[in-house]
Amino acid sequence: MTRRLLALSLTFGLITGLVGSLAVEGAAPVGATLAAAKADRCTASTKDGAAKQIRAAYATLLNGGSKASPKQRAAIIVGTDTDPALRSFLLDTYAQYAPLLKNLKVKVRKVTCAGPTNAVVTFNLLAGPLPFLRDQVGTAVLEGGRWKIDKSVVCKLVSSVAPDLTTTGPCTT
């Protein structure tokens, strides 16, 4: 039960975040990610730039110590601008579980372009120095000139530790 509560708490926290300063290899500073005017497309000539921007988006969302606010983190998820239920879900769960999550960290292992505006991302989540979830596969989508994390990534992480929370609400669609 304690492990399940910790896992649930860590997953909720990775969704919307805490204030602090953890770094991810190859990630741009949070401000650069959030204020980027136009992101690189995922093509042969711009792949490295796109991969760096995607890593930064994952770091902003999933690092417990990211300096991004909960609203900034929610904005990095596809659909939060048009789905108030999803946005509310993310902000509410952050408010409830944030204090337990300051040691969460993401390590993006691989970014593979699946098209100019889509990428497949392989990542690990760490709780402190220990692996928490390994070899997770997610997606990133170029939307509105910025790389965002697909909602399915968040819903999959929540369902991995609390399947009952994904049977109703914004993760059912």
Domain presence at residue 81? yes
Range(s) of the domain holding residue 80: 2-162
Between CA 122 and CA 114 the distance in angstroms is 13
Per-residue pLDDT band at 88 (split at 50, 70, 90) = confident
The whole-number pLDDT of residue 118 equals 95
Q: What is the pLDDT of residue 29?
A: 38
Other C-beta atoms lying within 10 Å of the C-beta of residue 108: 24
Q: How many domains does the chain have?
A: 1
Tokens of 172: 């059912």
At residue 148, the pLDDT reads: 96
> Cα dihedral sign for 53, 55, 61, 67?
negative
Q: For the ranges 28-32, 56-60, 71-75, 79-83, which has the lowest average pLDDT?
A: 28-32
Q: Is residue 172 part of a domain?
A: no
DSSP H helical ranges for the chain: 2-16, 30-35, 47-62, 70-75, 84-97, 151-161
User: Quick check: is 170 in a domain?
Assistant: no
Average pLDDT over residues 26-33: 39
Digit-coded pLDDT (tens) for 106-162: 999 999 999 999 999 999 999 888 888 899 999 999 998 999 999 889 888 877 766
Instruction: Express as a percent the part of the chain with pLDDT over 90.
Output: 32
